[in-house]
Structure 1
Amino acid sequence: MRINWRIILVAIAIILVSGTIFYSQYVAGKIATEERKYVTVWAEAQRTILNTPDTASLNLATFISFENKEIPILETTEKDSITGNYLNLDSSLVESDPGYLQKKLHEFRRYNNKPIVLVIKDSPYTANHYYYGQSKLLKEVKLYPLIQLVIVALFIAIAIMAVQSHYRGAQNQLWASMARETAHQLGTPVSSLEGWLEILKQKKENEAIIPEITKDVNRLLLITDRFGKIGSQPKLEPGNPYDQIEQMILYMKKRSGAQVQFEFSPEPLSVNPLLSAPLFDWVIENLIKNALDAMEGKGLIRIESHITNDGLIIDVTDSGKGIQSTHLNKVFKPGFTTKKRGWGLGLPLSKRIMEEYHNGKLFVKWSEHGKGTCFRIILPLPG
């Protein structure tokens, strides 16, 4: 059974954060209980200050009264009318905002709607109610789990990004190694074929087959050149992508059958984009082959271009069976294919060629079942 490390990381994070939240709530509850006791003692100190003439007791009560520098307290009458006496609240806000004390009273009631009651007279009944808020320490304890949650989330995100980056790096290295090895393996037999081609040219009876064999050899040379450029930064030069598209349409027409139609509607270019012609040619070839497979040998392939602020837009649209919605986010993943034969590398390679080598984009613009698919290329233009 394969273990999904992402699930394990998320599970560990949930356990850590949950444990921290429960423990923080436990600690916050204990602090809140202690603060209520402290406010109760403070209220009793106020009673002592009001009713006791004994100097020793008065000194102790005064000490207790002035010792509270953290817990905000607001005094009201027995009918919860604000008396104007308060402790540890912002005096400047009290003076500048007439409703400030009323706002704090509502806040303290939400926090703890049971005030500390200090009875001054039994008859007529007179009492002071003391509402209090949370100390800075209690607020920090309650805020701590959220801070830890953010830290854990950042840690998981960084870990996932690091692992994905490592995976992509290893995958890119593997692709590059495979491509270079393929180019190397093709190089020897292609060179040999070139030699045999020269021998065939020396006999007149081979004149009819020489052009077709030359095309195939040149095709193999092009494929070898393409694979050789994967894994290294290709040299980009100003070029007309329309030339590559027209050549590829001409090449694919001969191999697609009479029931497949091609349409190409280019918007004139005032400036040529930077291209690696063999690699861009490969992208167009992969998209057309993909369209031919989707149409199963019958239909229309339409290639359109227009210029926007993003660059040169090239849309390759087919009238094929379309891509299932569940597959749309998989078509550019290496190894994914719906064909009985194929490695599922054409579209991933094309995307890499456009995005990593040409600083452009390749994506599915739209796809509808039974109506077709449109792939969009965006090529940046100089200036």
Structure 2
Amino acid sequence: MVSILTNWRSWLALLALSIVIGTIFYSRYLATKIAQEERDKVELWVNASKAIFDNPDMPLTLPNMIRNEQTNIPIIETNEKDSIVNYINLDSTEAALDPTYLPDKLREFKRNNEPFILVLSQQPYIANKYYYGNTRLLREVKYYPLIQLVIVGLLITLLLLLLTTQHRSSQNQLWAGMAKETAHQLGTPLSSLQGWVEMLKESGGQEAITRELEKDVNRLKLVSDRFSKIGSIPNLEPTDIVGQVDAMLDYIKRRASGKIRFEFMAPPTGSLIIPLSATLFDWVIENLLKNALDAMEGQGQITVQIQENEREVLIDVTDTGKGIPATHIGRVFDPGFTTKKRGWGLGLSLSKRIIEQFHRGELNVKQSEPGKGTTFRIVLPKQTGLSK
């Protein structure tokens, strides 16, 4: 699915680039053609003005018609000293109210187009210059590629968002399906094991073996319960998060090396009640603590600190292990990513899903430095719309 999505992105990017390049070239062609037609019209208008000037006493119908029909190209007429003499197709009201309006337009016209010069007399030298600006049509054609680029960019972005959403939805369905199937597959042998445990209890003897076997069965039941909750939205119930973390720390301590030191820093209140799915939250803490143990390779210190503010609870899990390289920090929560020789790389991905999707919180790498250790931070809201 990832490769398909990547190919889609590549094809979409290529399509967008082709559309934009084609539009730019065609728009330039149209702009050049329109600009030449407008220059020809201005030249015709200037020639008509010259004909009228050269023959003031003759009735020149065609030149007058040409001058009168020019109603869209703005023109400013100046003398040989570039002082403004006259203008057409500009806002006369604005020109009357704002003394800078015409000079500003003149500077703009000088930047855009070369003027036409009409010599009225050689001795003394008298000449008019005709500067002209671009019509609205020409401006629109010039800016059209930019507008189309924005539209195409928005469409491509929207399509990519839809594809990404579809990919995530498919991924979520896959997670849920795998979780439900795992819980289902564990159900049958669990029921059988529970029956054998009850038979051992009734028969008496081998109490130590029975207790240990019962612990393993309960552990399998917990795993099955966790996977069954991944497949559906769990109920969040008021839970003492300090007690939950403390209990999970005790569980991990019993299975850790004697060279691992544990430190638990709880709030002064001693308890903190927030909406939780205790089963799934324990899974997250267990994953983070096991990752910390793996990172320290048998010796070091794990510190768990719980803090609170008005709206949130912050849980920091810090180890003194080998740390995470900067190139890997952005990928540690990706499904399948792992630097271990064993494992599928699903623990942190599942943990992030549990915290962010089920508890409306956050799970991220607060800080990490190779050779010094890593801190993962969980942020949980004190109130959530998912609690029941």
Task: Give the TM bin, normalised by the shorter chain.
Answer: over 0.9
In the alignment, which residue of structure 1 is the partner of 2:357?
Answer: 356
Range with greater deviation from structure 2 (165-174 or 350-359): 165-174
- Select 1:51's aligned residue among 51, 54, 72: 54
Matching of residues 240-319 of structure 1 within 5 Å: 240-267=240-267, 268=269, 272-308=273-309, 311-319=312-320
- 1:217 matched to 2:238? The reply is no
- 1:10 matched to 2:13? The reply is yes
Aligned-CA RMSD value: 1.9
TM-score normalised by length of structure 2: 0.93
Contact 1:310 1:378 in 2 (8 A): no
TM-score normalised by length of structure 1: 0.94
Contact 2:242 2:270 in 1 (8 A): no
For 1:297 and 1:179, locate their aligned partners in 2 and report how far apart those are by CA, in whole Å: 31
In the alignment, which residue of structure 2 is the partner of 1:31?
Answer: 34
For 2:241 and 2:272, locate their aligned partners in 1 and report how far apart those are by CA, in whole Å: 11
Note the C-alpha offset of 1:204: 4.3
Note the C-alpha offset of 1:176: 0.8
Note the C-alpha offset of 1:212: 2.8
In the alignment, which residue of structure 1 is the partner of 2:63?
Answer: 61
In the alignment, which residue of structure 2 is the partner of 1:208?
Answer: 208
For 2:45 and 2:120, locate their aligned partners in 1 and report how far apart those are by CA, in whole Å: 15
For 1:48 and 1:130, locate their aligned partners in 2 and report how far apart those are by CA, in whole Å: 15
Note the C-alpha offset of 1:231: 2.3
For 1:366 and 1:253, locate their aligned partners in 2 and report how far apart those are by CA, in whole Å: 24
Identity in percent: 56
- Residue type at the aligned position of 2:355: M
Cα 1:30–1:188 shift into 2, 3 Å: same
For 1:54 and 1:201, locate their aligned partners in 2 and report how far apart those are by CA, in whole Å: 130
- Select 1:70's aligned residue among 72, 83, 96: 72
In the alignment, which residue of structure 2 is the partner of 1:162?
Answer: 162
For 2:216 and 2:184, locate their aligned partners in 1 and report how far apart those are by CA, in whole Å: 18
For 1:184 and 1:150, locate their aligned partners in 2 and report how far apart those are by CA, in whole Å: 50
Residues 65-104 of structure 1: CA deviation (Å, up to 9, x unaligned):
2222221111222122222x21222223222322121211
In the alignment, which residue of structure 2 is the partner of 1:185?
Answer: 185
Note the C-alpha offset of 1:130: 1.1
- Residue type at the aligned position of 2:258: A
Note the C-alpha offset of 1:263: 1.2
Range with greater deviation from structure 2 (303-312 or 316-325): 303-312
For 1:239 and 1:253, locate their aligned partners in 2 and report how far apart those are by CA, in whole Å: 22
For 1:12 and 1:269, locate their aligned partners in 2 and report how far apart those are by CA, in whole Å: 60
Residues 251-310 of structure 1: CA deviation (Å, up to 9, x unaligned):
001111111111111224886321111111111111111111111121111111222355
- Residue type at the aligned position of 2:276: L
Matching of residues 56-135 of structure 1 within 5 Å: 56-57=59-60, 59-83=61-85, 85-112=86-113, 114-135=114-135
Range with greater deviation from structure 2 (284-293 or 96-105): 96-105
Note the C-alpha offset of 1:162: 1.6
Note the C-alpha offset of 1:354: 0.8
| Structure 1: 5+ residue stretches without partners | none
Residues 312-335 of structure 1: CA deviation (Å, up to 9, x unaligned):
111111111111111111111111
Note the C-alpha offset of 1:17: 0.6
Note the C-alpha offset of 1:182: 0.4
Note the C-alpha offset of 1:208: 2.5
- Residue type at the aligned position of 2:98: D
Contact 2:186 2:224 in 1 (8 A): yes
For 2:336 and 2:158, locate their aligned partners in 1 and report how far apart those are by CA, in whole Å: 27
Range with greater deviation from structure 2 (303-312 or 67-76): 303-312
Contact 1:271 1:382 in 2 (8 A): no
For 1:301 and 1:93, locate their aligned partners in 2 and report how far apart those are by CA, in whole Å: 75
For 2:311 and 2:154, locate their aligned partners in 1 and report how far apart those are by CA, in whole Å: 33
Residues 111-134 of structure 1: CA deviation (Å, up to 9, x unaligned):
12x211111212111111111111
Contact 1:271 1:381 in 2 (8 A): no
Note the C-alpha offset of 1:210: 3.3
For 2:110 and 2:239, locate their aligned partners in 1 and report how far apart those are by CA, in whole Å: 74
In the alignment, which residue of structure 1 is the partner of 2:25?
Answer: 22
| Structure 2: 5+ residue stretches without partners | none
Note the C-alpha offset of 1:62: 2.5
Contact 1:172 1:231 in 2 (8 A): no
In the alignment, which residue of structure 1 is the partner of 2:43?
Answer: 40
| SS of 2:232 mapped into structure 1 | coil
| SS of 1:256 mapped into structure 2 | coil
For 1:111 and 1:7, locate their aligned partners in 2 and report how far apart those are by CA, in whole Å: 39
For 1:298 and 1:93, locate their aligned partners in 2 and report how far apart those are by CA, in whole Å: 81
| SS of 1:337 mapped into structure 2 | coil
Contact 2:242 2:272 in 1 (8 A): no
| SS of 1:377 mapped into structure 2 | strand
Note the C-alpha offset of 1:363: 0.9
Cα 1:31–1:248 shift into 2, 3 Å: same
